[in-house]
């Protein structure tokens, strides 16, 4: 093989071994030569035009690069999209070189193409990721100018190309403090920041930004890629949560009632200012400690231990730091979520002031009763005076007329009225002095039974039927048994008189006791003569008696009313003329007095 042959052989080898598709095209766009690699990619090329082979077109391409090279003889590079032997899109970078003949003519061009389909696909995927990733992405140059941005960025901030990033994100003309992009430019490291900005319509956007260095051209950081995660929704939720938390905290802190709570471990985590006041303990001494049992009633500790739900004590006692017993209304709740124990909360209403007010009200009522009694006493005395005056007149008249019978009647009048004033004074002193009530655990029905026993004989003699209807399960109550006895005796005695005054043959009196919603009731009902309007109006307010001279002073109901008031209760009356009356003693348990002489107050819920 001579030198020329060797060279030709090597050229042919080169043509086949070079890792590039090579085709040589004449001025008519016919492919005159191509290597095997080309043929393997695009199929048979012989006697065919380049546009047919590359792109399966029937006519030359617009912007045909080969024709430009034929025209000016300058080599060109272009990216093209063709169709490969299998009919699939094929992306390729093609270098087009002129082949110059002697004299400058260009009969051929050589097209050397490299397949970039795979890179192109990856690029497309990257573009999709770039545009679709749920982040605002922008590429900044060293002037902080946005040179690229993604779809999401454009949607939220508008088209920002060529503008400064701070104009876009902040609507500002100055760079931000601690700009992470600037730091990345300075040190080539990744930086992050939480930022608040504004979108294209001026709405606030909260975002977490991450800046990474980008090197184009290999000389350090030429660009920065900025990726911002939108936190607006999270932030809004966070703010709402915080507001609601602040609101609740405020509510608890400003509550008049003492509030405390423990977590599932029993550690105190809420102790509001009212609790500090009630217990005389500082929140910081208490919070974080496992000492709930020092504050709440023992029943509540049991409620928690027994997996209960809540505990309400209308009135109980707690002890403050100085050992004082404080009356409170207690409400404890066991907090659960889906059956899981989360902790417990307790609310204490300080009853000291209410107790004080109740005491004052009772005192005021008692004073009013005394005032009415004094007015009533005047009424009684006026009647007695009239009787005395009348007696004197009748005695005088009888003596003048020498009428012994009339004189005697006058004397009797004087005597009656002197007796009457004596009993007034006795009753009144009894009323005014009162008696120290002796309160103890008392069976209300036992007292009622005693009164029935007391009146059994008398009513029998008078032909009145005395019945008792006592609810058997009324619990013991803090009462002055003797006082209650007086009340019931007065009411039964009145009922007996009402029956006596009535014309009815079959009179009956019924004593009834019952308890409803924490209130004890006694009722004394008669079917006697009843009362008309004027009598009803005056019945509790004066020494009022309709029974004439021989019976009582009219103090009975006043005494009854006073005793009821001493028990925190009241007397009610229903009466209809001719049909009878019902007098009702009403004792709400929560208003009943404490046991006499027992300073060690106990829970009477």
Partner 1 sequence: MSEQPERNEEEVRKIMIVDDEPDILLYLDTLLQDHGYRVIKAESAEEAWDKLREDKPDLLCLDIMMPKQSGIALYKKLKTDPYFKDVPTIFISAFSTAKDFTGRGFRKLVPDREVPEPEAYLEKPLNISSFLSTVQENIE
Binding-site ranges for partner 1 (CB under 8 A) = 379-380, 382-383, 385-391, 393-394, 397-398, 400-401, 406, 409, 413, 416-417, 501, 529, 532, 534-535, 538, 542, 544, 546-549, 577
Q: In angstroms, rounded to a whole number, what is the distance separating the alpha carbons of residues 119 and 317?
A: 82
Q: How far is the CB of 385 from partner 1 (least distance, A)?
A: 4
Looking at the Cβ atoms of 213 and 410, the one nearer to partner 1 is 410
Tally the C-alpha atoms within 13 A of residue 515's C-alpha that lie toward its C-beta: 17
Q: Which is nearer to partner 1, 259 or 499 (CB)?
A: 499
Report in angstroms how near the CB of residue 555 gets to partner 1 at its nearest.
16
> CB-based contacts of 585: which residues, under 8 Å, 6+ apart?
484, 487, 488, 491, 521, 522, 523, 560, 564, 569, 570, 571
Q: How many CA atoms lie within 13 A of 601 on its CB side?
A: 15
Show the 3-state SS of 395-462: HHHHHHCCCHHHHHHHHHHHHHHHHHHHHHHHHHHHHHHCCCCCEEEECHHHHHHHHHHHHHHHHHHH
Comparison of 339 and 548: residue with beta carbon closer to partner 1: 548
Residue corresponding to tokens 């809420």: 270
Q: List the one residue out of 45, 51, 43, 49 whose CA is nearest residue 30.
A: 49
Rounded to 5 degrees, φ, ψ at 597 are 70, 10
Cβ-based nearer residue to partner 1, 117 or 416: 416
Token digits of residue 200: 């294209």
Which of 172, 408 has the CB closer to partner 1?
408
**Three-state SS for 307?**
coil
* Between 382 and 441, CB nearer to partner 1: 382
Q: 519 exposed, middle or buried (CB, 10 Å; 0-12, 13-18, 19+)?
A: middle
Q: Of 380 and 569, which has the nearer Cβ to partner 1?
A: 380
Q: Give the sheet arrangement for strand 570-576, strand by strand.
A: 465-470, 508-516, 519-526, 580-588, 570-576
Q: Residue 25, class by beta-carbon neighbours within 10 Å (0-12 exposed, 13-18 middle, 19+ buried)? A: buried
For residue 604, the SS3 value is coil
CB of 534 to partner 1, least distance (A): 5
- Angle of helix 352-400 versus helix 556-566 axis, rounded to 10: 170
- Measured CA to CA in angstroms, residue 604 lies from 21, 265, 594 at distances of 104, 31, 9
Q: What string of DSSP letters covers 319-333?
A: E-TT--EEEEEEEEE
Q: 10 Å Cβ neighbour count for 404?
A: 10
Q: Minimum distance between the CB of residue 583 and partner 1, rounded to whole angstroms? A: 17
Beta carbons of 556 and 573 less than 8 angstroms apart: no
Contacts for 209-215 with beta carbons within 8 Å, 24 or more apart?
209/180, 210/180, 211/180, 211/181, 211/183, 211/184, 212/184, 213/184, 213/185, 213/188, 213/189, 214/139
Comparing CB distances to partner 1, the nearer of 244 and 415 is 415
Q: Which is nearer to partner 1, 299 or 416 (CB)?
A: 416
Interatomic CA distance for residues 2 and 532, integer angstroms: 155
To the nearest 10°, report the CA torsion of 517, 518, 522, 525: -10
Place of tokens 């191509």: 34
Nearer to partner 1, 550 or 600 (CB): 550
Nearer to partner 1, 61 or 535 (CB): 535
Q: In angstroms, rounded to a whole number, what is the distance separating the alpha carbons of residues 112 and 269?
A: 78
Taking the complex as a whole, how short is the minimal distance between the CB of residue 413 and partner 1, in angstroms? 5
Q: What is the nearest approach in angstroms of partner 1 to the Cβ of residue 501?
A: 6
Min dist CB 491 to partner 1, Å, is 18
Nearer to partner 1 by Cβ, of 454 and 535: the residue is 535
Burial group, residue 562, by CB count within 10 angstroms (0-12, 13-18, 19+) = buried
The nearer residue to partner 1, 387 or 444, going by C-beta atoms, is 387
């Amino acid at each position: 093989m001579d030198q020329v042959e060797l060279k030709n052989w090597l050229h042919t080898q080169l043509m086949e071994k070079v890792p590039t598709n090579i085709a040589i095209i004449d001025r008519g766009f016919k492919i005159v030569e191509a290597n095997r690699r080309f043929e393997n990619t695009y199929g048979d090329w012989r006697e065919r035009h380049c546009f047919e082979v590359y792109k399966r077109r029937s006519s030359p391409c617009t912007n045909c690069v080969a024709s430009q090279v034929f025209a000016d003889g300058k080599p060109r590079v272009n990216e093209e999209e063709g169709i490969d032997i299998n009919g699939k899109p094929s992306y390729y970078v093609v270098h087009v070189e002129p082949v110059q003949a002697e004299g400058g003519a260009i009969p051929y061009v050589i097209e050397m193409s490299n397949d970039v389909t795979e890179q192109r696909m990856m690029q497309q995927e990257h573009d999709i990721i770039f545009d679709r990733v749920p982040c605002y992405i922008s590429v900044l140059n060293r002037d902080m100018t946005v040179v690229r941005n993604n779809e999401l960025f454009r949607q939220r901030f508008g088209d920002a190309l060529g503008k400064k990033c701070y104009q876009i994100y902040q609507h500002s003309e100055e760079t931000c403090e601690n700009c992470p992009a600037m730091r990345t430019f300075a040190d080539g490291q990744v930086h992050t920041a939480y930022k608040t900005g504004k979108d294209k319509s001026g709405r606030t956007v909260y975002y977490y930004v991450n800046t990474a260095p980008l090197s184009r051209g290999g000389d350090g950081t030429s660009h920065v890629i900025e990726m911002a995660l939108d936190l607006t929704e999270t932030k809004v939720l966070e703010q709402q949560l915080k507001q609601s938390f602040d609101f609740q905290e405020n509510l608890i802190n400003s509550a008049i009632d003492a509030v405390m709570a423990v977590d599932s471990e029993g550690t105190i985590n809420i102790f509001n200012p009212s609790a500090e006041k009630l217990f005389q303990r500082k929140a910081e001494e208490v919070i974080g400690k496992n000492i709930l049992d020092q504050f709440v009633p023992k029943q509540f500790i049991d409620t928690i231990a027994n997996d209960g739900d809540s505990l309400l004590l209308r009135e109980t006692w707690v002890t403050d730091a100085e050992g004082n017993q404080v009356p409170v209304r207690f409400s404890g709740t066991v907090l659960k979520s889906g059956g899981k124990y989360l902790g417990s909360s307790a609310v204490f209403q300080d009853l000291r002031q209410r107790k004080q007010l109740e005491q004052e009200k009772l005192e005021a009522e008692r004073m009013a009763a005394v005032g009415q009694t004094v007015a009533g006493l005047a009424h009684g005395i006026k009647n007695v005076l009239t009787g005395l005056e009348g007696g004197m007149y009748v005695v005088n008249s009888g003596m003048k007329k020498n009428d012994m019978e009339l004189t005697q009647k006058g004397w009797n009048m004087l005597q009656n009225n002197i007796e009457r004033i004596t009993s007034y004074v006795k009753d009144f002193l009894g009323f005014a002095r009162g008696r120290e009530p002796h309160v103890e655990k008392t069976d209300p029905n036992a007292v009622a039974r005693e009164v029935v026993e007391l009146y059994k004989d008398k009513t029998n003699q008078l032909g009145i039927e005395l019945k008792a209807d006592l609810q058997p399960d009324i619990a013991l109550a803090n009462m002055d048994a003797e006082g209650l006895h007086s009340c019931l005796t007065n009411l039964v005695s009145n009922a007996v008189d009402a029956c006596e005054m009535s014309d009815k043959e079959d009179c009956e009196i019924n004593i009834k006791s019952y308890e409803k919603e924490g209130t004890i009731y006694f009722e004394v009902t008669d079917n006697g003569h009843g009362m008309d309007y004027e009598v009803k109006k005056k019945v509790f307010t004066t020494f009022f008696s309709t029974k004439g001279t021989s019976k009582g002073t009219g103090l009975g109901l006043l005494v009854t009313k006073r005793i009821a008031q001493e028990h925190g209760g009241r007397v009610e009356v229903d009466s209809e003329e001719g049909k009878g009356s019902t007098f009702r003693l009403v004792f709400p348990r929560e208003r009943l007095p404490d046991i006499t002489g027992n300073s060690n107050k106990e829970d009477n819920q």
